[in-house]
C-alpha cells in the first residue's frame, strides 16, 4: 500500500496544490488526494500539463485521487450540467497520471430506496463510462454512521439508501461498469458492523481507494458520529485487523488518513502532516 495525504482537518486551506505536494513530499507521502480545480490551478501556475507532471515527478508525489464533480445527488439539470465538463476533467487528470476518482453516497434520501438505486446506478454508469474511457477507476464510498440514516438523529432523508458494503456492491452491480469499485473507509466499515473478514473477502480489483481513521474510545458502533473521528490508533477500531484484511485482499493502491473532526489535527498543516505520518507509521504503514 502507498500513502496519500488527505487535507481533511489539516489546516491546509491556504495552501495551493503545489504547496500541498511539497508538504506531502517532506513528510514521506507518495501521493495526495486532490480535486480538479486545484489541479487546473497547478497546470496554470506551471504553464502546461507537461510542466506540472515534471514537477510531480521531481517531488516523487503522485495525484492519487480526485473527486467526482458532477452533482449526481440533485436533479437531472444539475447532473447534466456537471457531466458536460467531465470528459475534459477526465482527460486532464489522466494526462497527469491520476487514475482514481471518488464520490460519497448519502445513507438516506427523500425518495424510496428502489427509486434512488435505479437513478443513482444510471448516473454512476454514465460517469463511470466516461472515466473508464480515460483509464480512470471510480470509487464509491458508503456512509455508515447511524445518525445519518432515516431513523437517525440527523437523517439525510426520510428513506434509507445504502449504508454498508453489501448495499454498495449491489449498486455497483446495477451500474454495470467494470471500472466502478469501492472507497473503503475504516470508519464506515466499523459503523456498519463489518470488520477484517469482510475486508479480506474483497479483491484489489474491487478497491479503488482506502481511508483510514479511528472512532473515539467508548462510543461504540452505533455512537460513532461522522464528524468526530480521531487519528488512526487513538481510538477503538481494530485497525490492525482492518489493515490485515486489506493485505489479504491484495490491495496495492493508496491509503489516506481522513480525519473529519470538530477541530484541526494540529495548529499548523506542517504539524498535522507530521502527526498523521507518525500515526500511520505506528500502524506499520
| DSSP state letters, 63-101 | EEEEE--S-TTS-HHHHHHHHTTHHHHHHHHHHTT--EE
How many beta carbons lie within 10 A of that of residue 232, not counting itself?
25
What is the average per-residue pLDDT within 112-134?
Answer: 98
What's the pLDDT score for residue 165? 98
Encode pLDDT of 36-49 as tens digits.
Answer: 999 999 999 999 99
Q: Element (H or E) spanning 52, and its range?
A: helix 49-59
Q: Which CATH architecture has domain 2-282?
A: Alpha-Beta Barrel (3.20)
CA distance 138 to 85: 16
What's the pLDDT score for residue 141? 98
Beta carbons of 269 and 11 less than 8 angstroms apart: yes
**Dmax (CA) of the chain:** 51
Break the chain into its structural domains and give their ranges. Answer: 2-282
What's the pLDDT score for residue 60? 98
What's the pLDDT score for residue 28? 97
Q: pLDDT band for position 107 (50/70/90)?
A: very high
Percentage above 70 pLDDT, the chain: 100
What's the pLDDT score for residue 10? 97
Encode pLDDT of 165-222 as tens digits.
Answer: 999 999 999 999 999 999 999 999 999 999 999 999 999 999 999 999 999 999 999 9
What nine digits make up the cell of 218?
Answer: 467508548
Q: pLDDT band for position 272 (50/70/90)?
A: very high
Burial (Cβ within 10 Å: 0-12, 13-18, ≥19) of residue 40: middle
What is the average per-residue pLDDT within 5-22?
Answer: 97
Amino acid at each position: 500500500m502507498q500513502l496519500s495525504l488527505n487535507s481533511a482537518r489539516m489546516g491546509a486551506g491556504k495552501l495551493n496544490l503545489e504547496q500541498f505536494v511539497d508538504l506531502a513530499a517532506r513528510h514521506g507521502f507518495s501521493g495526495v488526494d486532490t480535486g480538479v480545480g486545484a489541479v487546473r490551478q497547478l497546470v496554470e501556475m506551471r504553464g502546461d500539463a507537461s510542466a506540472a507532471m515534471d514537477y510531480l515527478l521531481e517531488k516523487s508525489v503522485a495525484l492519487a485521487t480526485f473527486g467526482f464533480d458532477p452533482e449526481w445527488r440533485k436533479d437531472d439539470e444539475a447532473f447534466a450540467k456537471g457531466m458536460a465538463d467531465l470528459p475534459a476533467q477526465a482527460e486532464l487528470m489522466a494526462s497527469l497520471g491520476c487514475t482514481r476518482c471518488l464520490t460519497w453516497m448519502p445513507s438516506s434520501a427523500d425518495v424510496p430506496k428502489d427509486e434512488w438505486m435505479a437513478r443513482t446506478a444510471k448516473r454512476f454508469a454514465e460517469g463511470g463510462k466516461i472515466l473508464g474511457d480515460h483509464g480512470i477507476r471510480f470509487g464509491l464510498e458508503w456512509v455508515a454512521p447511524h445518525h445519518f440514516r432515516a431513523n437517525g438523529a440527523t437523517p439525510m432523508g426520510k428513506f434509507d439508501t445504502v449504508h454498508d458494503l453489501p448495499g454498495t456492491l449491489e449498486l455497483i452491480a446495477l451500474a454495470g461498469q467494470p471500472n466502478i469499485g469501492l472507497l473503503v473507509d475504516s470508519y464506515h466499515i466499523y459503523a456498519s458492523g463489518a470488520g477484517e473478514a469482510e475486508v479480506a473477502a474483497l479483491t484489489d480489483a474491487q478497491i479503488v481507494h482506502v481511508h483510514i481513521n479511528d472512532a473515539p474510545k467508548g462510543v461504540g458502533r452505533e455512537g460513532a458520529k461522522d464528524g468526530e473521528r480521531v487519528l488512526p490508533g487513538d481510538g477503538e477500531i481494530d485497525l490492525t485487523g482492518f489493515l490485515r484484511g486489506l493485505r489479504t485482499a491484495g490491495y496495492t493502491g493508496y491509503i489516506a488518513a481522513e480525519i473529519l473532526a470538530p477541530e484541526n489535527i494540529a495548529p499548523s498543516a506542517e504539524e498535522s502532516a507530521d502527526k498523521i505520518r507518525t500515526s500511520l507509521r505506528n500502524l506499520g504503514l
